[in-house]
A and B are shown apart, each in its own frame.
Chain A
């Protein structure tokens, strides 16, 4: 009845292609903030998820479930890759170090790192501010503490450090 699994998948992938093309030709210079680019990716994700649920509920066959899983996975891979590359190119600290070393401004780790220490300091303050805004940190009179949501995320991160045996961080 109605649309076939292959057609559903093809239409979904076409939506993703149009999403990327639209960014490429019209929105590249307009979507500059993290929130804007995140919302731009959240919109098709929510739309495709809702359509997928409806599509499966109409008739639940293994082929339908497979086409929906394929589409949602492709959407996830596309958005995750896009957002990772977007934020990596915007705020990479490693890039700052590479630029400084290449331009010859950074001759040794300890004696000429003041410029980068300043970058690191600025980043730390920006991050503290955004963690407070997201409701993960609570500002107290003498410093910072974790909110309930912050504690949950911190425990998840601690587990992620333990799993692949991460020792040196930061």
Chain B
């Protein structure tokens, strides 16, 4: 039944992603999951097409469920990766935090540095050198496009 095909495809995608991330830990996790999810989605479409026919309710239902589960998983692991709240909860699992330890553990400059390093590794900002001396950082072309997109979203949702 299409339900089990979609669930099986999703579990396969998560499992394969977990293996790939252990073999190549430096790879971009989101891009890797999108690539793996796309391939498995295509295989799922072929299986559903062969069994249920072209554009049937079963085929659309199976693919829609697979897409929803993949989006939900992407959302959850990026939340676990980047959310301040999620990280506080995980840190608190090991121990109670007094006010001083929260300050030390989540020292604000450390948070800025982590985010900075992530933005450099994803190519959104880069080092700016003048006369071969590093003097600072600048937004790259793709960083500029991301910023424009976020600003457009802010306008659309009325945040500005």
Contact = CB atoms under 8 A, between A and B. Distances in A.
Interface of A: 5-6, 9, 28-29, 32, 62-63, 65-67, 69-70, 73-74, 76-77, 80-81, 84-86, 88-90, 92-95, 97-99, 101-102, 106-110, 113, 116-118, 120-121, 123-124, 127-128, 130-131, 136-137, 140, 142-146, 150-151, 153-155, 157-158, 160-161, 163-170
Contact of A164 (B17, B102, B117): B17
A107 B125 CA distance: 12
Contact of B153 (A6, A85, A160, A163): A85
16 contacts: A9-B57, A63-B57, A67-B57, A73-B64, A76-B68, A77-B68, A88-B150, A89-B157, A98-B125, A113-B116, A116-B112, A124-B111, A145-B97, A164-B21, A165-B18, A170-B115
Contact of A102 (B14, B58, B82, B144): B144
Contacts of A169: 80-82, 87, 90, 114
A157 B86 contact: yes
Contacts of A128: 88, 102
B102 A163 contact: no
Contacts of A120: 84, 108, 111-112
B72 interface: yes
Contact of A144 (B80, B97, B143): B97
B71 A170 contact: no
A116 B80 CA distance: 21
A163 B157 contact: no
Given A73-B67, A80-B71, A107 B58 contact: no
A82 B2 CA distance: 27
Interface residues of B, number: 76
A59 B115 CA distance: 53
Contacts of B1: 62
Contacts, number: 230
Nearest to A138: B96
Given A80-B72, A116-B112, A142 B93 contact: no
Interface centre among A101, A117, A137 (most CB of B within 10 A): A101
Interface string B1-40: 1110000000000100110011001000100010000000
B72 A117 contact: no
B77 interface: yes
Contact of B115 (A97, A118, A165): A97
A38 to B, nearest CB: 14
A105 to B, nearest CB: 10
Interface string B68-94: 100110011101111011111110110
A146 to B, nearest CB: 5
Contacts of A88: 150, 153
Contact of B84 (A116, A142, A170): A170
A164 B18 CA distance: 5
A165 B113 CA distance: 21
A161 to B, nearest CB: 5
A145 B18 contact: no
A144 B96 contact: yes
